[in-house]
Amino acid sequence: MFFDSHAHLDLEPLCDAEEEVVRRAREAGVAHIVTIGIHPRSDEKAIAIAHRHAGVYAAVGLHPHDASECSDILVERLDRLSRCDKVVGIGETGLDFFRDRSPRDAQRAAFREQVRLARRRRLPVIVHDRDAHDEILAILAEEKAAEVGGIIHCFSGDLEMARKAIAMNFLISIPGAITYKGSEKQAEAVRRIPLAKLLIETDCPFLAPVPHRGKPNEPAFVPLVARKIAEIKGVTEEDVGRVTSLAAKRIFRIPVDEEVRIAYRIRNSLYLNITNRCTNACVFCAKRDDYYVKGHYLKLPGEPSVAEVLAEVGDPTRYEEIVFCGFGEPLLRLEDVKAIAKALKHKGARIRINTDGLANLVHGRNVLPELAGLVDALSVSLNAPDAETYARICPSRYGTASFPALLDFLREAPRHVPSVTATAVALPALDQKAARRLAESIEGVAFRLRPYDEVG
């Protein structure tokens, strides 16, 4: 379930108990670890450790503390080491202006050389940043690091820095320090950036999370980092593990298991992915980029039958609610939705449908009475305060008839469904207040603003 994106298994005391450390990690649900080299001798040890264990990978680099050792010969050696099939990144490299164990000019030069190596080898850069935020970002930009992307390891910056790094194709890796007092700045960044842009790490044997602070850290403790992030973001520890594992595999170019999900869990809700067909082609739709939502792969090879969906759900009372919401418009399959909802309601489920609100237009009749008694809640994608805006951001096959039909659906829905919420994605140019006013002007309808850059 978990991926420790930054460990130092070659360092004491971990290297003295390598087998036990990896075993404890497995028992804690840590399926993958990247052990990070910090100079050529360390790099060789990291590669050897990776070869001894399935699911363990290595990165090779020269730490800024040792940057004064950088030379053409050393860079050539890193190049050779990076060609091992278990090597997935270049680093740990970067700048450390806190300890200054190497001259700053030497640090800058070694950092640039390793970014260039990463670009040549098409591997991500693993960046050490201590009291050098602005210069780190400047060098990454100047050296075109966005071409390969990478990781800001042991993130100590603020929200602004995180956003700038993400814009350059970098992920933000969160260590155990997020559990310490004084980490409010990093917690705010975690709160505000998409979960899919985060990684979790131990940086072991350093920075053990609470309650192990002051003791040697190890990969088995990375779930504690996930737990703190889950608390900050209002999701579950499992959600964090799943999403950050997918992000780590992608940035490290590790093959991803594309098992299609019909029923997928986020927090304590179970979502049903019954179609990828849509009425609209919304400009913000996440499936324009890929078919993952919170680490679940939702690209259906075909639409599942009612029986297949019910078999996937099992006992619905294990969840707070069952939600019809995949990468498509569920009410395009109205009869199947009704059959599934009826069977699940009979077993005690609470049912919610996420819809674009165009079902009456699609089916040529008012379908809301058919949902009465089967559906407890509707989340209706309003997304705009007026028809012109809606047509621009939610182009529909029904053209100008769409927005009036959507409003009619919202007005009618509270008569048949106990809870109705109009939602809007917080696009940068959206008049959010106007969208809220429109939604709340409809009797029985609440309003919720959805994050622009985070799905699920």
Dig out the tokens for 327 from the structure. 């990468």
Please, what sign has the CA dihedral across residues 293, 295, 299, 305? negative
- Rounded Cα distance between 335 and 57, Å, is 49
Query: 247 and 285 share a domain?
Result: no
**Interior CA angle at 116 toward 111 and 118, to 5°?**
95
Could you tell me if 193 and 162 are in contact, meaning their C-beta atoms sit under 8 angstroms apart? Answer: yes
Whether residue 257 is contained in a domain is answered as: no
Query: 237 and 272 share a domain?
Result: no
Whether residue 455 is contained in a domain is answered as: no
Half-sphere exposure for 251 (CA within 13 Å, toward CB): 35
- DSSP lists the bridge partners of residue 421 as 379, 446
Query: 378 and 287 share a domain?
Result: yes
User: What is the residue range of 51's domain?
Assistant: 2-251
Tell me, what's the pLDDT at 193? 95
Query: Which whole-number Å values give the CA distances from 423 to 281, 384, 416, in the listed order?
Result: 17, 9, 19
Single out the residue in 251, 283, 311 at which a domain terminates: 251
Query: 290 and 143 share a domain?
Result: no
Q: What total of structural domains would you count in the chain?
A: 2
Tell me, what's the pLDDT at 441? 97
Tell me, what's the pLDDT at 4? 98
- Rounded Cα distance between 188 and 447, Å, is 25
Single out the residue in 220, 251, 282 at which a domain terminates: 251
Average pLDDT of the chain, as a whole number:
97
Query: 231 and 186 share a domain?
Result: yes
Query: 72 and 119 share a domain?
Result: yes
Whether residue 256 is contained in a domain is answered as: no
Query: 355 and 280 share a domain?
Result: yes
Tell me, what's the pLDDT at 217? 98
Query: 32 and 172 share a domain?
Result: yes
Whether residue 422 is contained in a domain is answered as: yes
Query: 407 and 269 share a domain?
Result: yes
Please, what sign has the CA dihedral across residues 344, 349, 353, 354? negative
Dig out the tokens for 267 from the structure. 């927090």
- The CATH number given to whatever domain includes residue 312 is 3.20.20.70
Query: 207 and 275 share a domain?
Result: no
Whether residue 204 is contained in a domain is answered as: yes
Tell me, what's the pLDDT at 259? 87
Tell me, what's the pLDDT at 258? 81
Q: What is the 3-state secondary structure (H, E, C) of the chain?
A: CEEEEEECCCCCCHHHHHHHHHHHHHHCCEEEEEEECCCHHHHHHHHHHHHHCCCEEEEECCCHHHHHHCCHHHHHHHHHHCCCCCEEEEEEEEEECCCCCCCHHHHHHHHHHHHHHHHHHCCCEEEEEECCHHHHHHHHHHCCHHHCCEEECCCCCCHHHHHHHHHCCEEEEECHHHHCCCCHHHHHHHHHCCHHHEEECCCECCCCCCCCCCCCCCHHHHHHHHHHHHHHHCCCHHHHHHHHHHHHHHHCCCCCCCCECCEEEECCEEEECCCCCCCECCCCCHHHCCCEECCEECCCCCCCCHHHHHHHHCCHHHCCEEEECCCCCHHHHHHHHHHHHHHHHHCCCCEEEEECCCHHHHHCCCCHHHHCCCCCEEEEECCCCCHHHHHHHCCECCHHHHHHHHHHHHHHHHHCCCEEEEEEECCCCCCHHHHHHHHHCCCCEEEEEECCCCCC
- The CATH number given to whatever domain includes residue 53 is 3.20.20.140
Whether residue 437 is contained in a domain is answered as: yes
Single out the residue in 251, 281, 305 at which a domain terminates: 251
Whether residue 44 is contained in a domain is answered as: yes
Query: 190 and 282 share a domain?
Result: no
Give me the tens of pLDDT residue by residue for the chain, a chain 456 residues long: 899 999 999 999 999 999 999 999 999 999 999 999 999 999 999 999 999 999 999 999 999 999 999 999 999 999 999 999 999 999 999 999 999 999 999 999 999 999 999 999 999 999 999 999 999 999 999 999 999 999 999 999 999 999 999 999 999 999 999 999 999 999 999 999 999 999 999 999 999 999 999 999 999 999 999 999 999 999 999 999 999 999 999 999 999 988 899 999 999 999 999 999 999 999 999 888 889 999 999 999 999 999 999 999 999 999 999 999 989 999 999 999 999 999 999 999 999 999 999 999 999 999 999 999 999 999 999 999 999 999 999 999 999 999 999 999 999 999 999 999 999 999 998 999 999 999 999 999 999 999 988 888
Tell me, what's the pLDDT at 288? 83
Longest CA pairwise span in the chain (Å): 76
198-200/263-266 β-pairing: unpaired
Query: 210 and 355 share a domain?
Result: no
